Amino acid sequence: MPLTGRLRRLAAHLVAALAALLTVAGLPAPAAAAPQPVVSGGRLDWGIKQSFLTYVTGPIAKGGWSLTGGAATVGGSTFRFHSATGGYDPATGALTASFQGGVRFTGHRENGTDALDLAIGRLTLTTTGAGRATLSADVTSRSRETGKVTATPQTPLADLSLAGTDLRAASGTLTLTNVPATLTDAGAQAFGHFYTAGTALDPLTLSVTLKAAEAEPTRTPAPDRTPSGGPATPGPDPTANPTGDPTATPAPGPTTGGPAAFADGALDWGIRRTFRDYVTGAVAKGRWQLADGAADGGAYFRWTTGKGGYDPATGALDAAFTGSVRFTGHTTGDTHGLDLTLAAPRITIADGQGRLTADVHGHLPGAAAQQQTAVELARFDPAGAVKTEGGLLRAVELPLRLTESGARVFGSLYPVGTEMDPLSFALALDPAAALPPLPDLGSAPAATPAPQAAPAAASSRGVPVAAAVAGALLLAALALGGGLLAVRRRRRPGPSDPS
């Protein structure tokens, strides 16, 4: 056989062998990129600028601030924003996290109008590369010159420095601590040029929970449940469900005209913001601990598993909750000068009067220890505030005032009649009704200020077997091809060889 034909046949066999060996080696097809994790829950703590807070509440502005959207305070002078959402790319460290809640500053009140009126909310951190990030927010402010109020969504308030922080390859909880912040040009305008661009603001701390993105559900057609030629599937019984909605269930309690019993519910109460700030602040240097099902909502505590009964005819209510909150502070060694526990709260409404009671254990600084059950802490007016909706009996932010026995519980720290944090509750008259969700503060912050994961270095041990086989076959092919070419060069064609 002529040498040229031999080369062609050998090449064909070599290609076939290469394909077969690659199949045996299991060379994988290019895999689809895994979905990137999402930000689902977390908190951002920021004092904005302490000198600004002092100015607002001082003798010149004579103003104050209020919280909106479930924002809270930490230690008295730091604001906590919650329920982070956003996205994260572990390959590049790109992060976007938007937080709920806001704060409004007012002051310089004249003729019923606050010349200083600034509100910020929906804070969003976005990394911009090269160790930097931007903090933006929805801003509503009043001009000192014209008095005109303007609202600007996602104004870039501050530039953040992430120098030396590697955000790549994080998982679980991503935490950034004491991130330096400086005012931007747009931020200076939002603050009425009270500060110039480049002014140092308070550092911020954030912690976000990273979760795997949910896979897109596979949509399959619903099976035909009616056999061919068989009887039709019976429809819903209209006598059991007058609305005609096959997913609805008859509502218990009020719709039947009798008292309603419930076995689930939630009580939300922050006790008093200044008390929480005192406990965690620079004086008491304390904390609180939750037990028996109580939860932290940032601006309030939640007691759970509400059980009891409600009579819609009279408005009478008796609801008992589980859980406890223990406040400790002024600690020396193992001794707490402040050690107060509030547990098993109960709401009652009778004869148009609402009462909040709880079990009390412990003491405040300088006060005698107490251990009492069902102490009346505060009273509220339920008129027009307690409503039934969506299978729930609800009241939102009921004004609450301290009673005489409640004042004794707090060691006369507050006088009788002091306005405490408002009270909210939701009771499931319909067992299928969903209780209001808590603000999502995310998982506990990580121990390290930020993930320092570096990208994995290339390693020969990481080369797949199939790739190694392919490389060996390629080398073999090159060697064989080179040998055949060398043979061909040595044997120059003679007169009888085809050209």
- 200 Cβ partners below 8 Å, 6+ apart? 180, 181, 182, 183
Is the pTM above the cut of 0.85? no
- Point out the least confidently predicted range of 10-24, 72-86, 240-254: 240-254
Q: Cα separation of 177 and 206, whole Å?
A: 7
Other CB atoms within 10 Å distance of the CB of residue 465 = 10
Cα–Cα distance for residue pair 377/358, rounded to 1 Å: 7
- Residue at token pair 């994260």: 88
The answer, yes or no, to whether residue 462 has pLDDT greater than 60, is: no
Find, among 133, 188, 187, 127, the residue nearest to 157 by Cα: 187
Mean pLDDT of the 99-119 span: 95
**With 70 as the cut, is the pLDDT of residue 256 above it?**
no
Place of tokens 């008095």: 147
Mean pLDDT of 412-430: 95
List the single range of 108-112, 204-208, 327-331, 360-364 with lowest mean pLDDT: 108-112
Look at residue 452 in the predicted model and tell me its pLDDT. Answer: 38
Average pLDDT for the chain? 81
Q: In whole angstroms, give the CA distance from residue 267 to residue 347.
A: 9
What pLDDT is stored for residue 215 in this prediction? Answer: 60
How many CB atoms are closer than 10 A to CB 263? 11
Convert the pLDDT of each residue in 49-76 to its tens digit: 999 999 999 999 999 999 999 999 988 7
- Least confident among 43-52, 223-232, 398-407: 223-232
Given a cut of 70, is residue 222 above it in pLDDT?
no
Kind of pairing, strands 301-311 and 260-262? antiparallel
Per-residue pLDDT at 458 exceeds 80: no
Specify whether the CB–CB gap between 341 and 361 falls below 8 A. Answer: yes
Count of helix runs (H) and strand runs (E) in the chain: 6, 24
3-state secondary structure 273-285: HHHHHHHHCCCCC
pLDDT at 178: 96
Indicate whether 349 pLDDT > 50: yes
The Cα 347–Cα 313 span in angstroms is 18
Q: What is the pLDDT of residue 22?
A: 44
Contact between 346 and 329 under an 8 Å Cβ cutoff? The reply is: no
In this prediction, residue 217 carries a pLDDT of: 54
> Looking at per-residue confidence, does 481 or 325 come out higher?
325
Average pLDDT over residues 88-112: 95
pLDDT of res. 367: 85
Structure tokens, 203:
């550092």
The pLDDT, as a whole number, for residue 235 is 40
Contact 294, 253 (CB under 8 A): no
**Residue % of the chain over a pLDDT of 90:** 66
β-pairing verdict for 38-46 and 200-211:
antiparallel
Does residue 332 surpass a pLDDT of 60?
yes
- E-assigned strands of 34-172? 38-46, 64-68, 72-74, 78-89, 94-100, 102-110, 113-129, 132-142, 149-161
Q: Render 345-384 in DSSP notation, one character per residue.
A: EEEEEETTEEEEEEEEEEE-TTS--EEEEEEEEEEE--TT
For tokens 């896979």, name the residue: 215
